[in-house]
Structure 1
């Protein structure tokens, strides 16, 4: 095997190994640990970019990387699979991990025990969920991710964090139990948990067993919809993300996308429209849930009095947009949804980190006070002592924060000319282009309801962000300008810069996203790549039987 053959497992193995190694050292060595984690994330980013290049085909549009754990045949063992969609998500995780670790190194990585190890274990679990080709292995990586997130959520413990952490742990334990029930039902009917083999066996399930199969799929879907943040299963998310320290909340921005990605993958691979009687299972329910999530998230951002809580509800709006796109279906819609998922996740992570810098220079309860005064019609009646104070220049730090905040607001709301607008436009163009009579949009008006709510949700986010920005930057005095470290502002700049790069290179990016969406909707290459792959022959023993 060549080193490139191991590229599929390295995004999981590398953070697990480094995280375990860091347990040997005391937490007092936080600088050395932060450097080790940052180096690991840089290496992961390089590996992820290599996967992007490999899955682009290099002349072969059907390349799928398959790694046999234990060198077992796919029908007996566990496989890891890398295609375009998985490579996109692994790259997104690496970028978020690198920037969040840089931000945390300023003050947060020493506020609790084993922060660096938990951080790397979370990254390993997330990458494993994106790369696994087996449902039980998906459960294993899901639990690694959740176990690490429990510790990170309680990092720098406060009463609010403990309260939110207990709710978060209880909900996810229930979701994990539901996950196991769903997996057990599917295995009992099909006799396999390999995703590619499931795609072959589901159409052949007898009518007597099909209802049990569909119940298992529905139960499994509920477990992932909890993590995806679909209404009404998202009640835990705002308080949890608001309570987490900013670098943890930034990396948590990818966690809801784990649930969405898995639902997206399984709904098209195992229950696609051409997979027999169970084809398109629950697609309309995903559309209804996505629309309801958009409404709930839009109301939430408008009602939020704090920037951190506003950002948390913006995560729900992002999830609603993705679920709506999955429910509508179609390659064009899916390509825009991929573009939107990457850009919105980067912008949300940047905003979570930015909010902490903004809040450092503000009085406790300033947001609540500003909204309360606005609601009751009170105005600032302070009269300036003389006209010389008019036109005082904004302090440099606040100018940087203000520009970054405006960029994040435009990106998340989907305003031109940034990537958020391009993504929303691609989704809307795909929805309008879908014939209302095709599978996936069986009831009248669903596509136009989606168009209306997607536009309205962007407007709601824009209004809430503008109100929050005015209350924040127009009320902040020069002597309240926060202290900002270079390692804190650079990660935010990098994330916003990545979104700008998506805008500038929208053509090549959309081409790759369209290819990834086409692979998801036509998973023949995925199934053939897994089922025809062979373990590596043992030296001197020839081919394996």
Structure 2
């Protein structure tokens, strides 16, 4: 078999081999480990780009890789379609930015950073590629095990405390995952996703309640990882306490739960699911709206930039979950566009927070918030005749990046954040029958608009306090090129999305259509043929 035929499994094998290889070397060899990690992560970016091109050419037909050369549903399968390829590319882009940023200082802050980083990528890529539920659980555990180490990377009392919360909550979610998978297997006798889509319509009436209970429990596990309210209590503290490059990578980890719901909801509970069709859609839509509202309140209440970024993750997750709950191809297409834009933006914001915080005095910030709350005006005590404040070049550049993040998160035109929200709203307001707009669509419209408005208010408030006030005693943060370049890259990608919105929207629209009409996916997986071996050709 040609090497190109193994491209589907390369996003899993490459980080696995790299992470294991790096464990063989002493931790003091920072330069060598950094070079190997960067080379591997760049290789993943190239592979992901090739898989996106392959998926776009193949259209609705998925590329299926049979591990062990066992045909589905008996063997393990990896499936590359437009959605999984898109998530692989998004992960690789964010990983390269976070890794380059970490080379300034964070990769030396603890043990085995580079190996853990590669194992995290292995788990993420495997979760996006796998075609059965049990191996989805396996890859979930791989990425979570790596994230536990990265969450605690750099030590510190706050990081350890919130890290323990993060670990305990995710262990509980993993237990629910196993319970849900066990119930589904007990009813259907399979865990292959395509085979489940075939068997679920034929489940006996007396077993359907057990099937739906297993599906609901499995959904709770996914939604805990996605940060749905009220299961998101752990997320703001954990994400704001993590090291900057780790928090940037965590912005894609919440999307793994969203991806699982997006993949399985139309496949297993879509129009062809019989009596279980549309199971949980209303609950998912409602939970998404509440999560958006909770995240919006958190954004507005946040005084620290790290907390603001963490609550922005909840707003993003809530928006995507509500969009999935609408079960409409047009809304899903807009949600995918928004997913890419918001993930890149939040990743850039997490990296930016650390650079900006270097010029801040925490005590002065607390004093400013207190005086703002009680209506005290320091200018009443002392009048300073100052026409304006000159911003140093470093703060000016960081401020420009902060402005771009604010415009993208709030959905202001003409950037990709606005285009994603516009696509979401225009599709959501067209989902009703006979041109009648449903009440839930109006609720989605209102919450999405209000969340953008409040995000802009919060970003303006923090931006004025951070960049408009004079630097404390002339302190200007020292920023290295390897720290600024990743932020500029992620924001530049959002600008590129804006300029090339037509091709990107065409890709996500085709992705959405294949998700809501999964016949080609099911047929591709179940009809995948084993590769002939000499023994098979000889009839042995």
User: Which TM class, normalised by the smaller chain length?
Assistant: over 0.9
Q: Offset at 1:437?
A: 8.0
CA contact (8 A) 1:362 1:476 kept: no
Tell me what 1:5 maps to: 5
1:437–1:27 distance in 2 versus 1, CA, 3 Å = farther
Q: Which residue of 2 aligns with 1:509?
A: 504
TM-score by length of 2: 0.97
Superposed CA offset, 1:103-125 (max 9, x none): 00000000000011111111110
Equivalent residue, structure 2, for 1:409: 406
- The alpha-carbon deviation at position 71 of structure 1 amounts to 1.1
- How far apart, CA to CA, are the structure 1 residues paired with 2:248 and 2:262? 23
Question: Following superposition of structure 1 onto structure 2, how do residues 103-122 of structure 1 map, counting pairs within 5 Å?
Answer: 103-122=101-120
Aligned to 2:275, the other structure's residue is in SS state: coil
Deviations 1:157-216 (A, max 9, x none): 111011101111111111111100000000000000000000000001000111100000
| Counterpart position of 2:42 | 42
* From 480, 486, 489, the counterpart of 2:484: 489
Of 447, 455, 461 in structure 1, the residue corresponding to residue 455 of structure 2 is 461
**Alignment partners' CA distance in 2, 1:343 and 1:462:** 16
Alignment equivalent of 2:141, drawn from 129, 140, 143 = 143
Asked whether the 8 Å contact 1:54–1:63 carries over to 2, the reply is: no
Q: CA deviation at 1:286?
A: 0.3
Quick one: structure 1 residues 449 and 169, their matched pair in 2 at CA, closer, same or farther if it must change by over 3 Å? same
Tell me, in whole angstroms, the C-alpha distance in 1 between the residues paired with 2:476 and 2:139. 42
Q: Report how many residues are paired.
A: 538
* Aligned mate of 1:87, from 85, 88, 97: 85
Is 2:248 the counterpart of 1:250?
yes
1:164 has 2:162 as partner = yes
Distance in structure 2 (CA, Å) of the matches to 1:33 and 1:491: 19
* CA offsets 1:485-521 (integer angstroms, 9 cap, x no match): 0000000000000000000000000000000011111
Compared CA separation, residues 155 and 426, structure 1 to 2 (3 A): same
Could you tell me how far 1:70 is from its partner in structure 2? 1.1
CA offsets 1:325-349 (integer angstroms, 9 cap, x no match):
1111211111110000000000000
User: Deviations along 1:390-434, whole A, 9 cap, x unmatched?
Assistant: 344310000110000000111111111100000000000000111
Contact 1:361–1:476 (8 Å) recurs in 2: no
Cα distance 1:255–1:365, how it changes in 2: closer, same or farther (>3 A)? farther
SS at match of 1:67: strand
| 182, 203, 213: which one aligns with 1:215 | 213
> Corresponding residue for 1:450?
444
Q: Tell whether the 8 Å contact from 1:230 to 1:290 is kept in structure 2 after alignment.
A: yes
Query: Are 1:525 and 2:532 matched, yes or no?
Result: no
Q: Hey, what does 1:25 align to over in structure 2?
A: 25
3-state SS, counterpart of residue 25 of structure 1: coil
Secondary structure of the residue aligned to 1:56 is helix
- Indicate yes or no: 2:350 matched with 1:355: no
CA distance in 1, matches of 2:306, 2:486: 18
Q: CA-to-partner distance for each residue in 1:424-470, whole Å, 9 max, x for gaps?
A: 000000001111589xx9x9511101110010111111111111101
SS at match of 2:445: helix
Contact 1:436 1:447 in 2 (8 A): no
Work out which of the residue numbers 161, 174, 177 in structure 2 matches 1:176.
174
Match of 2:395 among 393, 398, 402: 398
Q: String of CA shifts for 1:471-491, please: whole Å, max 9, x gaps.
A: 111224172210000000000
C-alpha spacing 1:437/1:224, structure 2 compared with 1 (3 Å): farther
Name the stretch that deviates more: 466-475 or 492-501: 466-475
In the alignment, which residue of structure 2 is the partner of 1:98? 96
Worse overlay, 534-543 or 121-130? 534-543
Hey, what's the Cα distance between the residues in 1 that align with 2:406 and 2:66? 44
Unpaired runs of at least 5, structure 2: none
CA separation in 1, counterparts of 2:441 and 2:310? 27
Q: Is the 8 A contact 1:186 1:216 kept in 2?
A: yes
**Alpha-carbon shift at residue 540 of structure 1 (Å):** 5.4
Aligned 8 A contact 1:56 1:63 in 2: no
Distance 2:433 2:229 in 1: 25
The 3-state SS of whatever aligns with 1:80 is strand
The answer as to whether partners of 1:31 and 1:105 remain within 8 angstroms in 2 is: no
Unpaired runs of at least 5, structure 1: none
Aligned match of 1:369: 367
State yes or no: 1:331 paired with 2:329: yes
SS in 2 for 1:254: helix
Deviation at 1:3?
A: 2.5
Alignment of 1:423 with 2:417, yes or no, is no
CA contact (8 A) 1:228 1:319 kept: yes
Q: Choose from 202, 205, 218 the match for 2:203.
A: 205
